[in-house]
Structure 1
Amino acid sequence: MKLLMVTSLKEYSDQVAAIFKSAGISVYSATDTVGFKDGSAHSLMDSWFGMGEARFDSIIIFSFTEDERAQKGLQLVKDFNNQHPGDFPIRVFVLPVEDSSH
Structure 2
Amino acid sequence: MKLVIVTAVEEFQNEVLKLFKSANIDSFSTSDIDGYKNIPNLLATSSWFPSVKGGSESHMFFSFTEEEQIERLFHLIAEFNSKIETNNPIRGVVLPIEKYI
TM-score of the aligned structures, taking structure 1 as reference length = 0.82
Identity %: 35
Tell me which residue corresponds to 2:57.
57
Q: 1:25 and 1:37, CA in 2 relative to 1: closer, same or farther beyond 3 A?
A: same
Query: 3-state DSSP class of the match of 1:73?
Result: helix
Task: Return 5+ residue gaps in structure 2 as ranges.
Answer: 46-53
Q: Deviations 1:26-84 (Å, cap 9, x if unpaired)?
A: 110000011112176xxxxxx9xx53765200000011000100111111111100011
Pairwise CA RMSD: 1.9
Task: Return 5+ residue gaps in structure 1 as ranges.
Answer: 41-46
The whole-number CA distance in structure 2 between the counterparts of 1:97 and 1:72 is 19
Is the 8 Å Cα contact of residues 71 and 94 (structure 1) preserved in structure 2? no
How many residues matched?
A: 93
Runs of 4+ aligned residues of structure 1 deviating over 4 Å after TM superposition are none
TM-score of the aligned structures, taking structure 2 as reference length = 0.83
Structure number with bigger Rg: 2
Q: Describe how 1:17-56 pairs up with structure 2 within 5 A.
A: 17-38=17-38, 50-51=42-43, 54-56=54-56
Q: Describe how 1:7-22 pairs up with structure 2 within 5 A.
A: 7-22=7-22
